[in-house]
Structure 1
């Protein structure tokens, strides 16, 4: 009896998945924009089958939705949903911050201090985009340092879904001056290897983000 071929499911490292995800997260593809397989196949120089599999993966992540008889499109995430996502991140990233404080190496402490210096310099110079890049780097490295692989996957998906709202929030006048002390507190707690303080400061920072997002609703 012939054994049926096993269907390949694209992994998170699948280059087609990564390319389309990046285009969505960066804003190249906007909410509700149709994602036509033929166009994506040409743009990324891959087969339509590879694109179809990638869209399925991104649908599982909540970045893409399929509309009957109309194909796929970029899923629009409401502000209310972005707040819910940040509430979940607050819990998970708090755990990661605590674990990072327990596991951090001397080399990673030096890296965090470098990020801290860069963030302070960016805020002093009014370089909002540079600060935003360092902000994302800090959150990503904190999770990586925690060694929580499962949490890393969860957070990556959640951040991808709410990134547009977070980006607009980061560009609000005065917002970096609010978030900078919060980020410095997270860095300080991890570098001090204080898991209780690290969790509290990480949760406090994301609670501040939630308050700012709720203010945007009004």
Structure 2
């Protein structure tokens, strides 16, 4: 088993974020020499980083051809979202059972930041705060396997989430759904929290499907 040091993990995180945020586009080639210079590491660390992201489904490494950013279709993104919804439902139920008063206050604080970003039409920050809320819920639930799988799947579809934000009426509906999730967790109502999370993510998937239908019309 190859042991990767914390220093070697840095290029993995930087490259992952660059793909998630669109710095590197779907289908774009990722030459090792250029990446080594950009990341400030040697080619061995670049190979390790690309191998890790290949396992996560963010890049494709082809023998004798090198690596490129994996292309994920909108239909596949919908399927990934549906899978995430099932896992996040389990996570929300467990978070409701384990949340402390301090946990509840942190969730409410993030929810306030989400509303503020929406009021300022700061959509990148809005998405960032939503991701922060989901991350906090996963931390509270303390289900490491489910959380790890969700994080990997979410990284694959990060660029599609912005499309759902722009869907008419989606932001207002989304905030109402997130309020219900937070309220249920703070009330220690696992059934309600799971139901609210499932409804929220199913609606995200539905918005993406509607966008797909509109594009293909």
TM-score of the aligned structures, taking structure 2 as reference length: 0.92
Q: Provide structure 2 residue ranges, at least 5 long, that are not aligned to the other structure.
A: none
CA distance in 1, matches of 2:63, 2:189: 51
1:124 counterpart residue number:
119
2:197 counterpart residue number:
202
1:170 counterpart residue number:
165
Query: How far off its partner does 1:38 sit?
Result: 0.6
- Does residue 108 (structure 1) correspond to residue 71 (structure 2)? The answer is no
2:140 to 121, 134, 145: 145
Query: How far off its partner does 1:208 sit?
Result: 0.3
- Does residue 85 (structure 1) correspond to residue 80 (structure 2)? The answer is yes
Q: Once structures 1 and 2 are overlaid, which stretch shifts more, 137-146 or 61-70?
A: 61-70
2:131 counterpart residue number:
136
Contact 1:128 1:176 in 2 (8 A): no
1:20 counterpart residue number:
15
Q: Secondary structure at the match of 1:27?
A: coil
CA distance in 2, matches of 1:153, 1:55: 18
Q: Once structures 1 and 2 are overlaid, which stretch shifts more, 158-167 or 60-69?
A: 60-69
Q: Secondary structure at the match of 1:72?
A: strand
- Does residue 215 (structure 1) correspond to residue 205 (structure 2)? The answer is no
Residue deviations 1:174-199 (CA, integer Å, cap 9, x gap): 32112110111111101111100000
Residue deviations 1:187-214 (CA, integer Å, cap 9, x gap): 1101111100000000000110111111
Residue deviations 1:10-48 (CA, integer Å, cap 9, x gap): 78x811211111111111111001011111111111110
1:3 counterpart residue number:
none
Q: Once structures 1 and 2 are overlaid, which stretch shifts more, 113-122 or 180-189?
A: 113-122
User: CA RMSD, aligned part only?
Assistant: 1.6
1:96 counterpart residue number:
91
CA distance in 2, matches of 1:144, 1:173: 31
Residue deviations 1:115-135 (CA, integer Å, cap 9, x gap): 222222333333323321211
1:30 to 16, 25, 32: 25
CA distance in 1, matches of 2:167, 2:195: 25
Q: Provide structure 1 residue ranges, at least 5 long, that are not aligned to the other structure.
A: 1-5
2:42 counterpart residue number:
47
Count, aligned residues: 212
TM-score of the aligned structures, taking structure 1 as reference length: 0.92
Contact 1:131 1:176 in 2 (8 A): no
